[in-house]
Amino acid sequence: MPELPEVETIVRSLAPRLEGRRIISAEVLAPRIVRHCESDVSACVAGRKIRSVERRGKFIVMHLDDGALTIHLGMTGQLLFDSPRTPYTRAIFQLDRGTLLYDDVRMFGSIEWTPAVPPRVERLGPEPLRIAPEDFYAGIHTRKASIKAVLLNQAVVRGMGNIYTDEALFRAGIRPDKPASAISRKRADRLLTAMQEVLLEAIEHRGSSVSDYVDTEGRRGDFQDRHRVYDREGEPCVVCGTPIRRTVVAQRGTHFCPRCQR
Ligand SMILES: [Zn+2]
């Protein structure tokens, strides 16, 4: 599933291509990807100009001269620019210059048009790359759930998913199942720094291609080669050599070093 770095990579490459363009027509080939809105997306976006494109957590928001087109890539969504149609193309946006395709094999993604940014997107927690340490600590220290569950909660911080949560907790030396409320201010600061470092490094490497994630030009990211715990069960910890363990925390497959993380 695309997380913050993958969506950021897509937005950075889409924004210069889309901003200022006009949508001539839009065709939704799979109606079930239009979710959370009653609007006829094709009719609402046709003729509209794209003012700006931004990432909100894992959502891609295109601000039009009338309303907002919000896309969530779900598990397997892809936004491809000037790329050939495939059997998984679910929507086609014909622009005055270029074509934007929305491909999605499993169709857990969504496209919606709303008069303004949808309230559930507005309500997301702060960006992990911008939150102040004291606000981060305030957001986690009253929560009794595991720190992993708390980081995945999009109301606490937005954009963290399974991969970067595991990687950040490893770098911070914190066990994923530790109750968030048991983490000291000092360790919370270290965790926030680890999250920011791992997210920035992943953005630099254009994200992780663990399943079928590709960017807007169809290129794979290469941060998966730099994962220290995620999907490395049984392999030696890069710090201490102990085999990485896999368990389930917050109903998600979770990877950690039993020696380095406390
Ligand atoms: Zn270790």
pLDDT, average across residues 68-86: 95
The pLDDT, as a whole number, for residue 100 is 98
pLDDT in tens, 134-157: 999 999 999 999 999 999 999 999
Residue 187: per-residue pLDDT: 98
Cα separation of 21 and 37, whole Å? 24
Q: From ligand 1's centre to the CA of 19, what distance in Å?
A: 45
- pLDDT tens per residue across span 227-238: 999 999 999 999
Q: How remote is the CA of residue 51 from the centroid of ligand 1, in Å?
A: 47
Average pLDDT over residues 32-46: 92
Considering just the CA atoms, what is the radius of gyration of the chain in Å? 19
Query: What is the C-alpha to C-alpha distance for residues 174 and 148, in angstroms, rounded to an integer?
Result: 10
Could you report the per-residue pLDDT of 190-208, keeping only the tens digit for each?
A: 999 999 999 999 999 999 9
Which pLDDT score is estimated for 261?
Answer: 98
DSSP 98: S
Neighbours of ion ligand 1 (CB under 5 A): 237, 239-240, 242, 257, 259-260
Half-sphere exposure of 150 (CA within 13 A, CB side): 25
**Separation of alpha carbons 260 and 125, rounded Å:** 29
Does residue 155 come out as left (phi exceeding 0), alpha (psi in the -120 to 50 range) or beta? Answer: alpha
Start-to-end Cα distance in the chain: 27
Q: Is 2 a catalytic residue?
A: yes
CA nearest to 233, candidates 202, 254, 213: 254
Confidence of residue 243 (pLDDT cuts 50, 70, 90): very high
What does the chain come to in residues?
262
Over residues 93-114, the mean pLDDT reads 96
For the segment 97-112, the average pLDDT, to the nearest whole number, is 96
Q: Does 183 have pLDDT greater than 90?
A: yes
Sequence letter at residue 32: R
Do 212 and 77 touch, CB atoms closer than 8 A?
A: no
What pLDDT score was predicted for residue 150? Answer: 98
Report the largest interatomic distance among the alpha carbons of the chain, rounded to a whole angstrom: 58
State which H helix or E strand residue 13 sits in. Answer: helix 4-18
Mean pLDDT of 108-136: 96
143 is catalytic: no
